[in-house]
Amino acid sequence: MKYFRQITTFQATTVLVSTIIGVGILPLPLFAVREADSAAPLVTLVASLLAFLGLCLITLLGMRFPDKSIILYSEEIIGKWPAAIGSVCIIFFFAILTSLAAREFGEVVITSVLKRTPLEVTVVVMLLLSAISTRHDMRTFAYIHNFYFPILLIPALLIVALSLKNADLINLLPVWQSPSVPMLTSVFTVAALFQSSFIMTIVIPAMREPKMAMKASVWAMIISGGLYITIVTATIGVFGAEETKLLLWPTLELAKTTSLPANILERLDAAFLAVWVTAVFTTLISSYYLTIRAMSNLLRLRDHKLFSYSLLPFVFIMAMLPESILQMYEIIQYVSRIGLFITIAYPGTLLIIAVIRKKRGDRGGETPMDEHR
């Protein structure tokens, strides 16, 4: 069955924003401050620009081949077998990313909220919800993100804004520090938190106007990058660089120190966790959906539902492999940095080769895309 392009530019923006803002928002200030100290907001800004470069590359490729995802048009650019290797790397990377996000979600939940609940239960419940949600078509997928977008963004901005009243400007000085290799590592680690924006490769073929994809990408990066920079700035301003280094989830601690005016709510960590669960869900369904859609495209299947449940056990097993929360974060940082080659270097290489070989897809903006319920 065929469905015509139905995703608007605004919906594409909401998909990107709610996908980028995910589980990594809790340790974000720690990743930024670990090697940069008070220059953490600047590191986050540079990381956002690096992530935007990757998003621009995948968007330009999508606009050049508006009817196909990277799995399909890479075959036209570099040939079937080299493209197959790249596609398999993308599938494995986002499957691992999904598993690590689910595991991180489980660790936070059993540590902060449901302390007597087994880790396996929280992880499998979130993965099962994601698997169920990914059985729908692209239109329903976009509606899910569209619905959760204000629920995710508005409270997060409100909590961060209220926390700024406790900030001390001196904690943010000096703003600039001499660049170093460890600081560059922090840039790569923070930039890796934006890698889920790769979802744009399957959003563009469903857009009504693929030529407006770059506009959606720019607005999405402004919103998500702006939120990340604000969170890091507020956290460093409240706690200072040295104290932030001692916190496992600085953003959660920031919410604990924040209260509504007139002390209506003295602590906002419960409200923040509710928003954070929403952010985790939208990120998980995007990375899981991207994985199963990529698998169906690679195997030339017309329906991705086959993998919705069949992939679940493998993702769950990978999620439970880290022996501790500290080992989990070590793996996350290592895998994420490696992933920058997949999300930035690989699309960049494809774009250069496509330009040199003058490869381009159809420009028809109203051609139907194959999709099944």
Is a pLDDT exceeding 90 seen at residue 136?
A: no
Q: How many residues does the chain have?
A: 373
- The proportion of the chain whose per-residue pLDDT surpasses 90, expressed as a percent, equals 67
How many helical (H) and strand (E) elements, i.e. helices and strands, does the chain have?
17, 2
Which of 8-17, 322-331, 356-365 has the lowest average pLDDT?
356-365
Q: Give the C-alpha distances (Å, rounded to integers) separating 214 from 23, 40, 340.
A: 25, 28, 20
What's the rounded Cα separation, in Å, for the pair 56 and 38? 29
Which of 124-128, 180-184, 340-344 has the lowest average pLDDT?
180-184
Q: Count the neighbouring beta carbons within 10 Å of the beta carbon of residue 313.
A: 11
Residues sharing a CB contact under 8 Å with residue 191, sequence separation 6 or more, in sequence order? 47, 48, 50, 51, 54, 340
- How far, in whole angstroms, is CA 136 from its chain's centroid? 20
pLDDT tens per residue across span 58-85: 999 999 999 899 999 999 999 999 999 9
Domain boundaries, the chain: 17-260+275-359
Q: Whose CA is closest to 103, among 315, 252, 274, 250?
A: 315
**pLDDT reported for residue 177:** 77
Q: Average of pLDDT values for 348-372?
A: 72
Q: Whose CA is closest to 281, among 132, 59, 88?
A: 132
pLDDT tens per residue across span 89-108: 999 999 999 999 999 999 99
DSSP letter, residue 344: I
Question: Domain 17-260+275-359 sits in which CATH superfamily?
Answer: Amino acid/polyamine transporter I (1.20.1740.10)
pLDDT tens per residue across span 356-366: 988 887 655 44
